[in-house]
Structure 1
């Protein structure tokens, strides 16, 4: 069947982010996005521990090839607090915010047609299997601090340890962002090391820059992916983080740690 990209793939201002070829079969960022958009998907496996249909694929276009994860919308399981059929769009929205921040947290991601219909397609990231994930989540690694701030921005309701990918380059990526951007506060994460701590000048500048982008190109990219209420809540979370100047504290109204944690 046709595999036509249905999501934005061009790299405008504010959409540059680090991508080390060591972590993804030698691909650079531009080539990776082009491949995800135009390549032919061949499903070769399924992640059986995922709650939603998560398919491992080979992808090829001409002489370019790679690996990716494909999550078809039709394979999403209904959730009581997230509307049906919205998880793939939230995954793409998380990538858009990650790209706007320029931190390289979320691997290159698009929305496109695939063998089982439209869905999210994300570049496969190799992992360094020698890294102890439990020890990593308990550390004060500055990369995890950036991910904790990112999660506060996108209101991540499910930051498990297994959603962190320590890559061969030493970079730590974050994946599985289907339950994000809810209008109500639902932050659940293992990364509470920095709770209540003051934001650095660099972090404050990042958030201010992101808030400015929401009024322009980034906002336009997010409009088809999130509701007006969710976009308003995103803007409010940024304002709150900037007003308090601190990482959020766990809420007493919502379990602060996802279960299972890994």
Structure 2
């Protein structure tokens, strides 16, 4: 009863405060709703990317593919589709539909990569559809581009030791990578590591040693997640074939 008595005395003022408070709470809740919806990107067109996990050639270029599954497209509406794969600040790999127009369901997307331009590693793939410039759907996924490098092997004799060198491909992926030199002396059966060096900023590695004499030599790269392991052909070091040459040379 005391509660009702209090209401009878101050009810209008207290009730007004309660209503104002409730209105304030409701207004705040409704104002927050569009932000939540925008954060969730509740577009009318839904999209999902099946990313690529591709291997690029050590030299030259090739096509790679990924897929974008779409739903919610309406007939009679003109949609603009864009997709790309990007790594850091480098120019993106631009994707284009293999079959036009964009359709509900699975859509195959083609990208074009070149060994000397597109670095191996992880890529962020984006896709979007727009109508009159306004985004109607978007998606993102992670892809991977790998390469098996090619290691060449050259060399010649000097007064301070035999010098081996090479220019591995692709240089964009091999700069800074460690190269190990293996040598098997003539008359023995086991290759041993005689040294290691690093591919420089010009894409070349080089190593000189008096331990490299008559026998066989090759070089290798141990590999990483995206630049896979590789080794050169084995080459034989033989006596020089002319009087003007130094003592030994690569056969």
Question: Is the pair's TM-score, using the shorter chain for normalization, greater than 0.5?
Answer: no
Larger Rg: 2
Q: Normalised by the size of structure 2, how large is the TM-score? A: 0.20
The structure that is helix-richer by fraction is 1
- Higher RCO (CA < 8 A, seq sep 6+): 1
The structure that is strand-richer by fraction is 2
Q: Normalised by the size of structure 1, how large is the TM-score? A: 0.19
